[in-house]
Structures are given as C-alpha cells and as structure tokens.
Amino acid sequence: MGTTVIRGGLVITAADETNADILIESGRITALAARDSEVARSWAESADRVIDAAGKYVIPGGVDAHTHMELPFGGTFASDTFETGTRAAAWGGTTTIVDFAVQSVGESLRSGLDAWHAKADGQCAVDYAFHMILSDVNEDTLKEMDGLVDEGVTSFKLFMAYPGVFYSDDGQILRAMQRSAGNGGLIMMHAENGIAIDVLVEQALAAGRTDPRYHGEVRHALLEAEATHRAIQLARVAGAPLYVVHVSAMEAVAELSQARDMGLPVFGETCPQYLFLSTDNLAEPDFEGAKYVCSTPLRPEEHQAYLWRGLRTNDLQVVSTDHCPFCFKGQKELGLGDFSKIPNGLPGVENRMDLLHQAVVDGHISRRRWIEIACATPARMFGLYPRKGTIAPGADADIVIYDPGATQVMSAETHHMNVDYSAYEGRTVSGRVQTVLSRGEVVVDDRSYAGRAGHGRFIARETCQYLG
Ligand SMILES: [Zn+2]
C-alpha cells in the first residue's frame, strides 16, 4: 500500500474544524498540514493517490457501537449478515462497528464469542469489534468476563427485559457489575422492566389489542425510566460505571441527567429512530407499523426534544443505530395478529451519519458535536480511541469525504442493507457520503463500491477511555 493525500477539504473532528491536507502512509494518518501549504503540495507531488476533497468535509469514519448482524431473535435471524451489513455501513460512512456476541443460556461466554467470530471472520468490509451479551450470569460466566476483557471484548450487555430469554434479575446484575468494577469492563444495560411489560403484553392480547401500535403502549415509558433508575442505583452500589443503551423516553433521560448531575459515571446512548420517528409510525395502517417495532419502542414525538437536549448537554453521549433488520415480508409478518411476535429491530447502519448530518442542518447539534456523538465518543467509550474516531497522526486512516451540498432521498430502492424496506422511506436529507477509506484503502470511491469482504479486521479493544 502506497501513500495517499486528501487535499482541499475541511477536516472536522470532535475538537476542531481545519482547512488541512492529510498524508496517509501504510493505512495510517501520518501528518496534517495547512491546506495547499508547501509541505502539503510536496506530499501531493510524490503520492501514489491524491483525493480531491475541495468543497467537502473530511471526517473520521463513523463508529457504530451497537449493531446486531445475523442476530437470532423470535425464531428468525436479523437479515443482514456481517458481509452485507458492513458493506452497507461503509456506504453510509461508518468504518467500525461493535456488534453483540450472544451467550445462550446454559452455554459459556467462550462458545458464544467463538460463534460470533466465526460469523464475522473474513466477511467484513470494515473493521469490527464485539461486546458480549450475558444471558446467564453465574459463577462460571462471571469468571469468564475477566478473560474476555483481556482479549479485547471489554463491555458486557445485560437485559432487564425479555424474561426467559436474555433477562437477568437484580442479583445477577449486581454480581456482573461488581465483577466489571474489578476487571475494567463496562456494563451496558437494556433498561426496561420486562417482568411488568410481560403482564401488560398478556393483558393487551387478551383484550384483542394485537396491532403493532400496542407494542409501544405496553412498553411504557415509566417502565423504561424505572429500570434506568434501578440500574443506576445498582451500579452505584457496585461501584461500577454504567452505559444505558437505546434511551428513548424523556423520563429515562431525566434519570440519567440526575445521575450525571451527581457526578456519577453513568452514560446514555440514543438512536436515530428515536430522534426522527415516533409512535405515529408504529400506528401506520395495514400492519406497516410493524416496520417500526423495536425495543425500547418509539415514543410520542414530544420525547424527541428531550433527546436532542440530552445530546447537546452531554447527558446523552452517543448515537448508535441498534441496527437489527428484519424484512417486512416473511419476518415482521410473523407478528400478524399478535404484536408480541413481531421481531424487534430496525435497519439503520447505513443511515446514521446522514441523519445526524441532517440534524446539523436542522440546528439540533453542531458539526463538531455530530462527529463527537457518532465517531469520537463511541470510540473512547469502547476503548478504540485514538485509533478510531478522529483524524490525527497515528490514527487509522478511516476517513470519509462527505459532500454537505448533495441531497438524497432515503429509500429501500437505493440502500445497501439487506432488508426490503427503509424506516426513512422517501425522506430527503442534505449531505451524502462520497468516498470512504478504511485503514487507507478506498472502500467507497466517489459513490461506487470498491471494498471487499475480508478487508475488515477484528479489533481488540482497550477498556473504557471515557472515564475520569
Ligand atoms: Zn440492541
């Protein structure tokens, strides 16, 4: 691999906006210099490749810290494989994903992690890492957590929802938190009171309320807030930091804000679907609402303002996708006549960078905050920084040339995710990915795909770098 120079663009990181040219050697960023300066011109003269970024943004590749490729759920599998899902990620300007390996009840963490390595190995277009889902907290699996941290799987997801599947009780959660307080792992929490939700599901179905919109009603906002509160208190008792995934309810944001005001190491993530979609979508007729069934659920539109505010005040630190696509035909349809059988999840890995750029255009966040919540903080939160998430000497050359002047219409007709619908069908957004580099290799070249399965490598992560 030779040298590449990116010239003429506006380099945006979480910290700065600079008119700078970038030198890339052997897959890494080696230097930045003032745009068109003498030194920058000398790089361009001897480079093997020069990419013209005039009039464009030059941003770090996106880091999506929450994806579920090929996840088994409700008797089916998420429809993107690691191959198709990471290709779509690249198209959308995301160059690192952190996916969730799953421990099945009764199995070891090791066998779950090995299974996810086997799914991803040799398939990925961009780099990837793993979190571990703990479905069965016991003496053996608690011990295994230490070993996983040592091999770069440094975060563990627990569920207060889904009794009988992924659910952990409060005692199990406390034990896992105590363990992570000792080994440096970060506990990620799906915070919904699943025991209470299951009662409401049963009552809704018995009363004949079977349409997708009832999925949102039974997964009550207060049951998200209650679980968020409980998770925070358990983490305090254990002396462990906590990261709450896919926050959607304003009442849950309030719990996080209160904890943050106390100076606690408590972090929150939200997702584009909670920022751009609402229960209006869940209520779409002819079962179309099933396209928007995910957990936590979409909320009434008035919640969105609280999520945006949380992102501005840093009470929420990260936007990930929770990408977990199921086709409408044949998969979402499993829940016809019973919303509780609709596979939970939405496609989005390709859309996140664009939707958040639209949020910049709309005035919700600044350009640097866009990069912070989509690239830099997820990298720091999950031990990938500064290799990922920024543009600086020494970092991997994961770089996106982004055209802020382009417009696009989001659609299943044109997206690259392996799913038969778009959650944002027909939505016009400003801005579009033009060219993408992963470790210096061009994977999207001026809107044509130039990547390959197997380019992406597993990244062993450090522990959380966002503390202290
Ligand atoms: Zn998830």
How high is the pLDDT of residue 73? 87
pLDDT confidence of residue 410: 98
225 CA to centre of ligand 1 in angstroms: 18
Q: For residue 264, report the distance from its CA to the centre of ligand 1, in Å.
A: 24
What residues are neighbours of ligand 1 (ion), with CB under 5 Å? 322
pLDDT number for residue 239: 98
CA of 55 to the centre of ligand 1 (A): 36
Q: How far apart are CA 361 and CA 376, in angstroms?
A: 20
Contacts 24+ apart (CB under 8 A), 229-237: 229/255, 230/160, 230/170, 230/191, 231/160, 231/173, 231/189, 231/191, 232/256, 232/259, 232/264, 232/266, 234/170, 234/173, 234/174, 234/177, 235/177, 235/187, 235/264, 235/266, 236/264, 237/174, 237/177
CA of 345 to the centre of ligand 1 (A): 8
Q: Which residues pair with 437 in a beta bridge?
A: 399, 442
Cα end-to-end span (Å), the chain? 38
Q: Which segments in the chain show pLDDT lower than 70? A: 1, 468
Q: How far is the CA of 68 from the centre of ligand 1 (A)?
A: 7
Distance between Cα 446 and ligand 1 center (Å): 32
Report the separation in Å between the CA atom of 160 and the middle of ligand 1, taken as the mean of its atom positions: 13
Dihedral over alpha carbons 144, 145, 147, 150 (to 10 degrees): 170
How far does residue 445's CA lie from ligand 1's centre (Å)? 31
Per-residue tokens: 327: 């086709």
CA 410 to ligand 1 centroid distance, Å: 23
* CB contact set of 399 (below 8 Å; sequence gap of 6+): 6, 22, 24, 29, 58, 59, 60, 61, 391, 436, 437
- The residue to which tokens 């033009």 are assigned: 434
pTM over 0.95: yes
Q: Look-up: residue for tokens 């926050």? A: 247
Please report the pLDDT score of residue 1 as a whole number: 63
Contact 279, 309 (CB under 8 A): no
- Residue 378 Cα to ligand 1 middle (Å): 15
Strand partners, 5: 23, 50
Token pair for residue 420? Answer: 């038969």
Instruction: Determine contact, residues 131/120, Cβ cutoff 8 Å.
Output: no
pLDDT in tens, 410-463: 999 999 999 999 999 999 999 999 999 999 999 999 999 999 999 999 999 999
Q: Which helix (H) or strand (E) holds 199?
A: helix 194-206
> For residue 468, what pLDDT is reported?
65
Identify the CA nearest to 234 among candidates 177, 295, 294: 177
CA of 349 to the centre of ligand 1 (A): 12
pLDDT the model gives residue 2: 87
CA 344 – ligand 1 centroid, Å: 9
3 state DSSP class of 271: coil
Are 436 and 399 a contacting pair, CB within 8 Å?
yes
C-alpha 19 to ligand 1 mean position (Å): 37
How far apart are the CA of 346 and the centre of ligand 1, in A?
Answer: 10
β-pairing verdict for 127-133 and 94-102: parallel
List phi, psi (to 5°) of 226.
Answer: -60, -45
Residue 33 CA to ligand 1 centre (angstroms): 40
Report how far ligand 1's centroid is from the alpha carbon of 66 (Å): 6
Q: How many residues does the chain have?
A: 468
Compute the distance from residue 67 Cα to the ligand 1 centre, in Å.
7
